[in-house]
Structure 1
């Protein structure tokens, strides 16, 4: 038997380190060639690391959340033959060394602390384990003797930033069924969710909800949980903090009468929806932004504040914010100026699904020049969206509400929607920001102008 050391992969593009976001195996597991071992994350993309050979896991090179240097020891396998044990282990950036034949420290399931592993490798705690209902009363048999209490298994929601393991097909089916995968118990390796797990979840009527079972009213609670901020959630936190620290935000809010737009959208869906797909309001907004940016090119830009250079773009690479199980992601619709309504709607839907099932490529998650964000029905009255650095503007959409307004001297009911948008005040003056939003408003309130060149 020999030792085969798998190193942290070089993903290219000058990336020197990656974050370890998930292990699919643990010490003692047998693995086969091409089996997924771990997920690592760069600034934008999650990369899955497969096994190049058959073997048995001896040790892991780090814990979830560790930042690993490219070329450092990721995992150590026991294999048939000589292996490649000539390579010496390399310490991770977190300062821990992956010693030969010793299991590396493993991150605790619910705590942001580390558990020192013994010299003999042991399996890590199952981070997907379910808490038993300890409040179940002890049943009493007919004989009067107490019998073992019946344990009810409650599926716990995964912590923020934790990504449920599932294939794209399972993720698509869950999305179609309206099931949040973080509430589904996975029975596969490392808690992977299968179609059977979805069937089980549906069969029991989705009893497992947010993770703690029934909580009686007016009962004092003293429980506390800690969740490490890792993976995509860490990247989101770092990016938002960086954006707010570096960019002086200027937010401008304007209401838009979308009565005519909604009437047009309804007619188009009735006429063409079955053949071309349903239109949401987002393709109309995207088109309005494309047209307005022709008159305000300084807003379709990225600010390299390190070098003091503003790069303006003719092409509109529109970022469309999408909420996923792992957190907020911004896939990019490249050359939005070339899309008609239906192709734009189809591309937005495709990108959102790719983000949700983790199949979006790095190119699909980078390079946006301006971002459109919407919370749909949860959009509220007003919001203050954070600019997607290094862009200089983001357009936010609030919900549509019916309100009485004065129109032509009469009080009528109209459909009103607010646009809450933020701008980099270093690059975009307040007057130009307001004029840009007013231009978008003009297109939306007279939707026929969206199709006139």
Structure 2
């Protein structure tokens, strides 16, 4: 038997260090070749690290949340044959020497391997975090797949992981209790439990990016209401006529089209500002960042060359990117390079919002929900479908008059939807 050391691989783009987000294995586990060992995060995306060899894990090289250098020791395996340990330096200590000590800073998911539907009784569950009604449960893809295999509805399972994340142990507890959650206190009982939730992984990246954007960019916001009655009628008509063959259209591809057309007149908003070099770069291509909520936090996949696609082309690409982002499969290229961002909370969009600019861009357009309201049209009170756009701009680059004129151009295009397609 020999020792094989797996080092943190170079995952490209000149990245010198990555953050260790999550282990998928524990000390003592037997792993096979190509099995995912860990997830790490760069400043752009989460990357899975597979094992190049089969063997038994002897030591883990860090704790979730730790920043590790490329080339540093990630994991140590016992393997058949000589291994490669003679060429590897000893592991750097984390809080204590790495040698054969399992890392227990957070509950880990077990490796994705076949499981019995009747596991051994689990220990008493830790205090759980409650979810608000309708809130989507947090769980990794492996836990979701196992729940589907066992026929368990995750919304009925209390999670004991960070932020209420559902772990494999919670599924075991559910099964042990005969398909019911472990006993919890009444909603009117006094509670004294506390949770310490490390800000790591994507949440850390979001926090840093938002703080940097607010620190560096002097924001100003502009809100305008838009009558989308005719636009909604067109959308419903197109879906009824072409939806079965070409796919259903949401409001989003119409908004993207409006941005593409309006930016022809206002190219100064389709730009990025390098405030260190004091250089503004304007782009002919419209690469629209689509703010997307995932189980792990906010991600902004990029709809590239929106100007070159029709409504259905943009709708299909947005759906593909959203699925990749929510499933944690979006690549670094798909999460970078946007020139302007579109943010929408859908039915939860509220009346007004003040979106944070996606640095180093200079504009973000926020979409609020559609509501029916009585409006005066031609001297008559009629019911119309109204929607607000809440947008933010970088005041170093964009003057208030230009921002207002841009949003008014978008408004005119959406209120007279035929003009979206005039060339």
Give 1:52 deviation, angstroms: 1.2
- TM-score norm. by structure 1 comes to 0.80
Name the residue aligned to 1:305.
275
Name the residue aligned to 1:58.
58
* Runs of at least 4 residues off by over 4 Å: 95-99, 125-128, 149-159, 178-181, 209-215
Q: Does 1:182 align with 2:183?
A: no
Gaps in structure 1 of 5+ consecutive residues: 110-124, 129-148, 160-177, 187-191
In 2: Cα distance, 1:261 partner to 1:409 partner: 22
In 1: Cα distance, 2:200 partner to 2:232 partner: 41
Name the residue aligned to 1:207.
156
Contact 1:183 1:208 in 2 (8 A): no
Name the residue aligned to 1:226.
196
Secondary structure of 1:218's match?
Answer: coil
Q: How many pairs align? A: 389
> What do residues 325-368 of structure 1 show as CA deviations (whole Å, max 9, x unaligned)?
11111100110001111111111111100111112111111000
Give 1:108 deviation, angstroms: 2.0
Matching residue within 108, 131, 149 for 2:105: 108
Matching residue within 245, 254, 260 for 1:284: 254
In 2: Cα distance, 1:213 partner to 1:269 partner: 47
Name the residue aligned to 1:136.
none
Secondary structure of 1:182's match?
Answer: coil
Give 1:102 deviation, angstroms: 3.7
Give 1:156 deviation, angstroms: 5.5
> What do residues 290-341 of structure 1 show as CA deviations (whole Å, max 9, x unaligned)?
0110111110000111111111000000111111111111100110001111
> What do residues 120-171 of structure 1 show as CA deviations (whole Å, max 9, x unaligned)?
xxxxx5468xxxxxxxxxxxxxxxxxxxx99997995699xxxxxxxxxxxx
Q: Does 1:438 align with 2:408?
A: yes
In 2: Cα distance, 1:126 partner to 1:329 partner: 24
Q: Does 1:367 align with 2:323?
A: no
Contact 1:17 1:67 in 2 (8 A): yes
In 1: Cα distance, 2:108 partner to 2:49 partner: 20
In 2: Cα distance, 1:154 partner to 1:108 partner: 15
Q: Does 1:294 align with 2:264?
A: yes
Contact 1:156 1:183 in 2 (8 A): no
Contact 1:321 1:331 in 2 (8 A): yes
In 2: Cα distance, 1:308 partner to 1:91 partner: 41
> What do residues 364-420 of structure 1 show as CA deviations (whole Å, max 9, x unaligned)?
110000000100000000001011001010000000000011111111111100000
The 5 A counterparts of 1:136-147 are none
